[in-house]
Amino acid sequence: MSRHAKIFIGLTFGAVAGVLSNMFLSPSPFLSFFQQYITDPLGKIFLNFLIMMVIPLVFASLSLGVAQIGDLKKLGRIGFKTIAYFFVVTTLAVTIGLTLVNLIRPGDYLPEETKVKLLDSYKGQASEIKTATENTEFGIQTLVNIVPRNPIAAVAKPNPDMLALIFFSLMIGIALTVISKEKAEPLIKVLEGINDITIVIINIAMKLAPFGVFALIFSVTSRFGFDLLVALSMYVITVLLGLLIHQIGSFSILIKVLTKYSPLKFFKKIETVMLTAFSTSSSSATLPTTISTSQNNLGIPSQITGFVLPLGATMNMNGTALFEGVTVLFLAQVFGVQLSFGVQLIVVLMSVLTAIGTAGVPSGSIPLLVMVMVMVNIPAEGIAIILGVDRILDMCRTVLNVTGDITCAAYVAKTEGYELKK
């Protein structure tokens, strides 16, 4: 049985078992015990196993990717294509989201008593997020922090500064292209060794994927239940519809037009990546699978995947940007805050910019989302209304994020003269 089939079985069994447990066993001491001591730890171990290798993989693959490109003019050309693609698909995603939320107006469907109940239920989490947001700097300091004083300190934190790691890796790669081949060769061999080791360890982790995916999905579905989805059904439908239009519509068109490749075949070849992204809710944790799948299934060369995909895992958050735009306008409707067309354009811009700074981990977008809300005079406490369904939406938007990364790598490879594997 193929790997993606095993993951899909784990995903299905976890979802069904979680929903049934929520319906028939919640609340109960047995279900709480099972979540706390079995599925939560198993899911976190699997997620940690994947995330453990992200920093060495990003450093090695990005440095090698730049070194293998070799020509700095070619590097600049590929870099421009990559950043331009990320910006265009992210802006397109937010535009789709804002169009839908203005047409459907999901905030008008939320009863007052449901709003009060949700605010009360999740006020503790909302307060923690608000406090964390007050300590988060976004603006010119974000740009300054991209260049780290101490690259090791930048990543030796609970939430590593991935933009700083990317900058450091780019500089190492550029330096390797400038110095003589004889001097560069030993470090290149070390980086290749690190890269190969991380791939082997990730393959070991992925053998546990069906069980890890079962645990992750069970923990989510056994907690949120159908009642919460019904209460926020119009909001959830709006977000999912936007994600679906962008995934099936926008990306299919981009794949067909930019790479001359069958979208159906393309999505078939990246099934494992999409399933891993859905179950882990993390672009970073999915990165090793994204790289190996792009190289093995699509035939994208390592110098392209090594450069584009690590950048994408940090900077290309088009699904996250769509979610942020929809959520800001939904909460504005709930609280009766009127946002003019000009203010909505600001929401588009801020959703694009903050998505770039979002950590590629589960619910990494929430603190920056609160910043956008405050900027347009929506109460920060309002984030409590959507916290209960955030994880399931996070799973869905992460699929878009990683799909965007691979479509970008395919586009860059095609324009650089490489043929995708049929």
Residue range 37-95, pLDDT digits in tens: 998 899 889 888 888 888 888 888 889 888 887 777 888 899 899 999 999 999 999 99
Give 8-21 as a DSSP string.
HHHHHHHHHHHHHH
CA distance 422 to 218: 36
Has residue 239 got a pLDDT over 90?
Answer: yes
Q: What is the mean pLDDT of the chain?
A: 85
**Residue 38 belongs to some domain of the structure:** yes
The band of 6, judged by pLDDT with boundaries at 50, 70 and 90, is: confident
**Residue 333 belongs to some domain of the structure:** yes
The pLDDT, as a whole number, for residue 226 is: 66
What is the number of domains present in the chain?
1
Residue range 267-313, pLDDT digits in tens: 999 998 999 898 888 888 888 889 989 999 999 998 899 889 988 88
The pLDDT, as a whole number, for residue 189 is: 93
**Residue 210 belongs to some domain of the structure:** yes
CA distance 282 to 293: 16
The pLDDT, as a whole number, for residue 299 is: 92
Residue 17 one-letter amino acid: A
**Residue 344 belongs to some domain of the structure:** yes
The pLDDT, as a whole number, for residue 273 is: 92
CATH of the domain at 110: 1.10.3860.10
Tokens standing for residue 418: 């490489």
Residue range 336-386, pLDDT digits in tens: 888 888 888 888 888 777 776 565 555 566 777 888 888 888 888 888 888
**Residue 420 belongs to some domain of the structure:** no
**Residue 32 belongs to some domain of the structure:** yes
The pLDDT, as a whole number, for residue 219 is: 83
The pLDDT, as a whole number, for residue 207 is: 85
The pLDDT, as a whole number, for residue 73 is: 83
* Boundaries of domain holding 314: 3-415
